[in-house]
Amino acid sequence: MVYLVVQIQTQFKGSSNGRSRSGAFTLIDVLVSIAVISLLIGLMLPSISMVRESARKVICSSGMRQIGLGMNLYAEDNKDMLPSSVFLDDDGGRTARAMFPHLMDTIRTSPAEYEDRVWGQWDGLGLLFYKGYISAAGVYYCPSHTGDNGLEVYEDQWNFDSSTEIIANYQYRGIGPDGQRHLYTMNSTAALVTDSLRTIEDINHENGLNVLAAGLSVNWYDDIDSQIMQSVMSRTDDSIVDDTNTAWQLFDGGSTVTP
């Protein structure tokens, strides 16, 4: 960059009339230099942003992998079972809470919307924290998140005495494709955790999502046609369950690549 600026300045001096014989910089030299540097910075900024986002994706996938390890330790101590959630119905029927699977990024519930919730009840992935399998709150949050549920919002609430609701940046499935909750008999490619699907603002990345499979691999789902993004944006109360289930089915057998 410096070499290019010097070359331009040298050429300008050789072709200009009335230039100071002392070789000092003129206002034109400074303006040309600023213009060139600004142009180069403008060309470089997109690349810098891409590098930063790539690094954030790696951190995000690392956090998911830690969650996967925590789930395996939990399953070992709980008869091969995945952590439970108030948003799942183990009897196979549909309950009021099971109508909201998009809220399974909830770590700790509150009775704000549902009368049968318990103050400060740890739920889903939150049980990994409560039981001591993953004690770092930052693991549950993606550095690319720009919505209203970032770590900075809930950081002071991660203690056992608080009773407020806590929302993370990762969506928990809680069951396998066939409805089973036994981790070690589940297909290793079954998707269990992904970036939050709560709202469009909660989707952490612009062009896809990280997905944790039952076999502990973390893959990148490239949402080329924005199918996931569009389904979340157009979601209605009647389509919540179907849209969320469709997303998980895509993650089970969609076009995933290892980042």
Tens of each residue's pLDDT in the chain, 259 residues: 444 444 444 554 554 454 444 566 687 777 777 777 777 777 666 655 666 777 888 899 999 999 999 999 999 999 999 999 988 865 455 566 778 899 999 999 876 555 554 556 899 999 999 999 999 999 999 999 999 999 999 988 887 666 788 999 999 999 999 888 999 999 999 999 999 999 999 999 988 999 999 999 999 999 888 889 888 988 888 889 888 988 999 999 744 443 3
Residue 152: inside a domain: yes
For residue 4, what pLDDT is reported?
A: 43
| Share of residues in the chain with pLDDT > 90 (%) | 46
Rounded to 5 degrees, φ, ψ at 172 are -105, 135
Cα of 57 vs its chain's centroid, Å: 8
Domain that holds residue 236: 52-257
Residue 201: inside a domain: yes
Residue 209: inside a domain: yes
Residue 4: inside a domain: no
Residue 23: inside a domain: no
**The residue type at 19:** R
Residue 9: inside a domain: no
Q: Name the domain count of the chain.
A: 1
Residue 125: inside a domain: yes
Residue 36: inside a domain: no
